[in-house]
Structure 1
């Protein structure tokens, strides 16, 4: 049953990649892999984000593994970007098993950088002044190239959440940051504890005690 479902997803991924061309990356994450660090079981046009077969997970994968009983809804047509600044139009589709839990993730990342440049050029020719003020949009999220970049991104998000540089963080600040990292699945990444402990200038013993504090609260 699972094999046929996976083969069907591969067929769909291949069709989408052929339909939309080289700028469209389509990949399948297997959420039941023994290691979260090689969740990609199928990929087309991996050059778009620089990933390959057997590559590392996305934030969406960590979310599902960390919260297996969560209610996950498809995320369609949102903006992301690569580490070198190219803008992607992305969709994340959760493929569920017979129990209603996510089993695979089908991801689509379409590079629209050149289209945006073309749109901007056309707009400069056709636009007229308008008195209204544009509403600022949220910056696209970066798609990490590997697990190290994903961990770095999560660490930076934890610092932004606290709003204080590490050098000025109190014990409570660090506990809050560690709680965020634990809830986002950062510690599912191999040897993440060493890196997080070093970054926050605490021992691994202290790190694990902070994690346990968050579990008890």
Structure 2
């Protein structure tokens, strides 16, 4: 299916420019190739998230990758970049003639101007809507670090304070979020957690065995 998939990706390259030309500088369109998560960006127009061709998957893309054929399009969701931009996005999966997922077409809209109005109205009304922060970048290692750090923040404790069951749950969550679909992810996770590579591989193996 390689030739078919490559042809679909190539056909979408002019589409990204057309969409951005229609919506303007607040819009970014990205084509991802899930076969290479470390360098999944094969076409991009606009600069909402600051990525370029050869850039890495986002946390959301990695989660879809982990779901495999059960993954579904994610439409009209809101995230906040590490730089503080409020972004409205839609991620539409690409499937081949055998209905297998191999990539995605993503549209990102920078809502920064609208966000200022929303914050003003929210302050006047006394309400605030929390928005999850996600990491967009060309370096997959930074995306992995962000996922591991957010998981540890959810725990509220360091690795040494976790029970064995909690450590396995952490690795299970990272697996479900697509982290270990990335090459060299295990050593990166081990370094972030402050444990040996051998320990990380052992926890991952036990997680998969239990699953």
TM-score past 0.5 threshold:
yes
> Bigger CA drift: 54-63 or 98-107?
54-63
Larger relative contact order (C-alpha < 8 A, sep ≥ 6)? 2
Q: Is the 8 A contact 1:64 1:102 kept in 2?
A: no
* Residues matched between the structures, number: 206
Q: Is the 8 A contact 1:80 1:143 kept in 2?
A: no
- Are positions 1:84 and 2:77 aligned together? no
- Are positions 1:144 and 2:147 aligned together? no
CA RMSD after TM alignment? 2.5
Offset, 1:26: 0.3
- Are positions 1:8 and 2:1 aligned together? no
C-alpha distance in structure 1 between counterparts of 2:67 and 2:118, whole Å: 40
Identify, as 1 or 2, the structure richer in helix: 2
- Are positions 1:25 and 2:18 aligned together? no
Q: Is the 8 A contact 1:79 1:141 kept in 2?
A: no
Map 1:51-130 → 2, pairs under 5 A: 51-69=51-69, 71-118=70-117, 123=121
Question: 1:184 aligns to what?
Answer: 177
Q: Is the 8 A contact 2:80 2:131 kept in 1?
A: no
Q: Is the 8 A contact 2:31 2:43 kept in 1?
A: yes
Question: 1:42 aligns to what?
Answer: 43
- Are positions 1:153 and 2:152 aligned together? no
Please list every run of 5 or more consecutive structure 2 residues that lacks an aligned counterpart in the other structure: none
SS in 2 for 1:73: coil
C-alpha distance in structure 1 between counterparts of 2:154 and 2:187, whole Å: 21
* Superimposed CA distance per residue, residues 183-206 of structure 1 (whole angstroms, 9 cap, x where no aligned partner): 222133343322322333322212
C-alpha distance in structure 1 between counterparts of 2:85 and 2:154, whole Å: 26
Please list every run of 5 or more consecutive structure 1 residues that lacks an aligned counterpart in the other structure: none
TM-score by length of 1: 0.82
SS in 2 for 1:2: helix
* Superimposed CA distance per residue, residues 27-55 of structure 1 (whole angstroms, 9 cap, x where no aligned partner): 100123xx32111000001x311110011
TM-score by length of 2: 0.84
